[in-house]
Chains A and B, each alone.
Chain A
Amino acid sequence: MRKIRNRKRKMNVFFAVILLALVLSTALMFTLFIFGINISLKSTYQVDNLSEIFNLPNLKYWKWPYVMEPDHEGVFGNYLDVFERLKLDKPNGYIVGLFNKELVEARIQGDILTCSLYTILYAGIGALCATFMPMFMGYLCSMYRNKVSSIIYALVLFVIATPIVGATPSAVNFMRSIRLYDTFIGEWLRRSTFTNMYFLIFFAYFRGLSSGFSEAAEIDGASQLSIMFRIYIPLALNIFFTVYLMIFVAYWNDFTTPMMFLPSKPTLSYLVYYRTTYDSGGDLNYATKRMAALMIFAIPIIVIFSIFNKRLMTNLTMGGVKE
């Protein structure tokens, strides 16, 4: 009998057609990036000249008579311009309070450095809250088996299966009422939810661990808190870090939530979106500058992906990490 050692099949017409589609899809993606990088390195005049649009950057277009007095010239001129101009300063006001209503006169303010700090606070700490809470509840519900933990498990399944749409106006109104709107603390609290898929992953993982560790530690006099933080949570750090990375990347790229809930604390994605797309009349309203701003924004996440791509592409199963 012929032995088949792995799932691999021989190339045939079916797979050849799929290969062609994959090659085309990949080619489109690379074309977009190469085109984008090329545009970001050109002078605006060269890009405006349609016959030059696919040519490589030409330094003559950075000088007189094509450009009067560029702030910065050369292939990195747009990048230097963007570093200087990528900032926001606009008034913003909203009413807060439940009974005693007050007008808060804030400003949407930030440059690249401030917005990077806001991004660390929003994506870095926000992702930490969003990862810790399901792990914490997953641990409690799997290790302490009682009626309450069974109810919580059923509740999580119910929330995941019940798609509620259109709660954002209520959420904005609620956050304003409790005066946590436009604050990082409010956003971290809002993110600290356990009713999601990650709870199920952590729950399954902890349930698969032996309870012998905890019994032995209890005999040795360890408190419940020590057992959780010194024995079990360190065992789950691999999954914790994977989930954290996935959420961090999603928060890093997300500009819609900060725009809605942190209007005067622009993160980098919010800043880049606002200045390159939303605010179409602004001084970055040139394809060259926009491309440069977008490339600057993409670099950190590409670096993260190059370092952690295996971890990011890992498959989180109900019971651990499967590579």
Chain B
Amino acid sequence: MEATKTLTRRQKRNIFFGLMISIPILMFILFYVCINANTILMAFKHYETIEGEYGYKVTFAGFKNFKTVLQMLFWGENWYMLKNSVVLWFFKLTIGLSVSIIFSYYVYKKMLGARFFRVILFLPNVISNLIMVYLFRYLVNTLIKAPNSNFGILEDANTAFAPILFFNLWLGFAGQTLLITSAMSSINESIEEAAQVDGVNSVSELFYITLPMIMPTLTTFIVLSIAELFVDQMSLLTFYDQFGVDGKLQTIGFYLYQEVYKSELVPTTQWSPSTPNGRLSYSELSAFGVMISAIVIPLSFGVRKLLNLLDPNEN
């Protein structure tokens, strides 16, 4: 009792702070540090089942898992997943972001029906992708058939990519428009007033005033898009069923999810050039993750730095 009385206000505050942050910090160590460290460790491990037991024999694999991943990536049609991921990212970043900016500008300028369109553009954020995909898939397959076939355009791997890309761009406007409109709303009105008094037209105002003023938001979008490059599943999980997606349509994000869902520490059939229908083990998938992170992390830091240099607000 005597001891507590002698504690100063600062000491009490420090003890309380220390006790309170200990639980979140412990969770951070468990669910962030341990999991990510384990990814790196697993990438260098090889697991084997032990006959008659549920345990595994673990050995050091060196760079064997990385080699298998590279072999898989450039085997047969698998390189399409790399190409599709980059194409999807490029279109989202160029066409997707540009259209989002233009739509946001329309809403921001409070043009005809702006409030209504703001709600409509936001709707795909709320309504499950599952619903949107199935409605789109059914309508498109019913209306547009693949060339020389009775099947819908989405059932043929040679014709399905373009409509799936369109769908992803179309729904991608949802979240972006709201955030970009909000960034535009924070622009000082007097700058625009001065421009309008000087007779600047709406297109020039967008390019020479609005865009430079929201550059920090756009930088964030671009940097975050780099992280999405190898994570975006292109909604393929909802476009196709358990029998999977044709190799020509896959993205790396989709491949990683599907493999983790269907594989194990030691898969029933291990992927190799002689068993291409097999699966990568969790160790190999971890190696894949480490390889991707090794590309994406420096790339996103580099792009952020470059965009900050180009940002007129920073200068």
Contact = CB atoms under 8 A, between A and B. Distances in A.
Interface of A: 1-2, 4, 6-9, 11-12, 14-15, 18-19, 21-22, 25-26, 28-29, 31-33, 35-36, 39, 50, 53, 95, 97, 101-103, 133, 136-137, 140, 144, 146, 148-149, 152, 159, 161-174, 189-190, 192-195, 218, 224-225, 249, 252-253, 255-256, 259-260, 269, 272-273, 276-280, 287, 290-291, 294-295, 297-298, 301-302, 304-305, 309, 312-313, 315, 317, 322
Contact of A136 (B24, B185, B197, B202): B24
A292 B126 CA distance: 19
Contacts of A277: 130, 134, 238, 240-241
A161 B300 CA distance: 8
30 contacts: A1-B197, A18-B102, A18-B103, A28-B170, A32-B136, A136-B20, A146-B14, A146-B17, A163-B227, A166-B289, A166-B290, A166-B292, A167-B39, A168-B260, A168-B289, A169-B263, A169-B283, A172-B282, A173-B38, A224-B12, A253-B128, A255-B130, A269-B130, A287-B138, A294-B130, A294-B131, A301-B127, A312-B122, A312-B125, A313-B122
Interface stretch (B27-35, B75-83, B86-94, B156-164): B27-35
Contacts, number: 270
B16 to A, nearest CB: 4
A140 B178 contact: no
Interface stretch (B113-121, B268-276, B307-315): B113-121
Interface string B29-63: 01110111011001000000000011110000000
Interface magnitude class on chain B? 35 or more
B24 A137 contact: yes
A19 B289 contact: no
A33 B135 contact: yes
Contact of A11 (B112, B129, B297): B112
B3 interface: no
A164 B20 contact: no
Q: Is the interface of A mostly helix, strand, loop or mixed?
A: helix
Given A167-B289, A298-B127, A133 B53 contact: no
A312 B106 CA distance: 21
Contacts of B124: 29
Contact of B39 (A39, A166, A305): A166
Contacts of B127: 253, 298, 301-302
B9, B111, B261: most-surrounded residue (chain A CB, <10 A): B111
Contacts of A136: 20, 24
B112 A19 contact: yes
A310 B139 CA distance: 31
Top-8 shortest CB links A-B? A166-B289, A163-B227, A280-B241, A169-B282, A315-B182, A101-B54, A224-B16, A170-B39
